[in-house]
Copies of this chain bind each other. A is one copy, B any other.
């Protein structure tokens, strides 16, 4: 699903500087692994306030993730108007309930007990802002089937994951020991990790930020 005037990102002669509006180590690693040069500049956006307001307005998780990705890109683009700024957001929805990054391991454990034995959706959005305004967005969904693991497995997972569990929505790191909590997944690996990378790279090529 793509929205926004992608024509705003046509071919350019100069290669713009790339800025990632995210403090997520996973997103930074994905860009680094892909061989991109970028600066990281976390956005100062009141995400909880946006979620609460959009929830009250009956907006979907896709709409919220897209709005937050846009808001993060726009906030950082205001500080770096010469740069091409990438914002991203991920939402977790299970039977209409939204989950956020847990504040501590006790909350991570509560979340995982709710999700255990059920399917949930990971909704990942990415936005690119150029010359101070949002030029492109993309949102994608992965469906995750969490298995009915034992309490021992849950305790062992929380022990192994430690503070890293707090960096992710709902408290699992799929790319680490969190994989043991799942039966099956349907969807793109980068959507699961929180940054739809292939559509983003295509946008960056159109913008001249990455060689074609």
Contacts and interface: CB of A to CB of B under 8 A. Distances in A.
A180 interface: yes
Contacts of A185: 188, 198
A184 interface: yes
Interface string A181-194: 01111001100100
Number of this chain's copies in the complex: 2
Max chain B Cβ within 10 angstroms of own Cβ: one of A176, A180, A210: A180
Contacts of A35: 160, 176-177, 180
Contact of A211 (B152, B183, B198, B201): B152
6 contacts: A33-B176, A34-B177, A34-B180, A180-B201, A183-B202, A189-B192
Interface of A: 33-35, 149-150, 152-153, 156, 160, 175-177, 179-180, 182-185, 188-189, 192, 197-198, 201-202, 210-212
